[in-house]
Amino acid sequence: MANDLVTIRAANRQYKALHREEILARQRKRRAENPEKTAELKRKFRLLHPERIVASNKAYRLANREKIAASKKKYLAEHPGQQLAYERAYYIRYPEKGLAKQESRKLRERAKVIRERSINTIRHDPDTVYRVVSRAVSSALPRFMRDDVIASMLLAVLEGKLLLEHVGARMKDYVTGYNREYDMFKTLSLDAPMGGTDLRRIDMLEAPAPYEPEDDEDEDMVMLRGGQSLWR
């Protein structure tokens, strides 16, 4: 009996594989002739197999990503008010997400203003920006290395990748980048212990005296601390 059942199932699978289009056509015809019964069967299937519905929808979205995006774009172009209504209803339901979106937009706008201010400053007053960057880069570096680091930082300011108020904080990043790109020998870590001892190289260095500007209104230091520049 079991062998007969296995044989029947194998024959059914073989028939369905050979007559797939014919079977699908009959199914479509039955669904068209009995829309109410088809809808009821679909409803029961969704209730019994929700995970299969979710997986099927996900697979369809992944396989037709471009088609769905084009359809959504066309629909929004034809119904501009629909998107606004949807967003309004969504943020009324989830007010915390609306507030988070507003804060994110404010941060982006502020970052854009600061970036434009830095770019305008270096375009209109490059000497001042050079002086600010030069004071941020340690004079203990070799002259050729220091010049390259300053040049890299000035270019980053001009391209909007480095803000004037971050010059002092990110100076070490550009020194590290220089070492990775040009250093032909292995750069020794100051935190690594010296051979045969527990003493670190950094312990042998004397801490530099803190900078104390002679004038409280030192323009370069104000700019380094993120102060307002003359070029808005």
pLDDT of residue 232: 46
Residue with the bigger pLDDT between 102 and 219: it is: 102
pLDDT of residue 63: 92
For residue 57, what are the CA distances in angstroms to 75, 106, 232? Answer: 20, 36, 51
Report, as an integer, the average pLDDT of 211-230.
53
**Domain contains 33:** no
Q: Cα–Cα distance between 144 and 137 in angstroms, integer?
A: 13
**Domain contains 168:** yes
**Domain contains 163:** yes
**Domain contains 61:** no
pLDDT of residue 65: 92
**Domain contains 52:** no
Report, as an integer, the average pLDDT of 197-214.
58
**Domain contains 151:** yes
Q: Cα–Cα distance between 231 and 189 in angstroms, integer?
A: 40
**Domain contains 53:** no
Longest dimension (CA), the chain: 102
Per-residue pLDDT tens over the stretch 25-46:
888 888 888 888 888 888 888 8
In the three-class reduction of DSSP (H, G, I as helix; E, B as strand; rest coil), residue 87 is classed as helix
Residue with the bigger pLDDT between 66 and 77: it is: 66
Per-residue pLDDT tens over the stretch 122-134:
888 888 888 888 8
- Give the residue numbers spanning the domain of 131: 109-186+216-232
Structural domains in the chain (count): 1
Q: How far apart are the first and last CA of the chain?
A: 89
Report, as an integer, the average pLDDT of 112-128.
85
**Domain contains 164:** yes
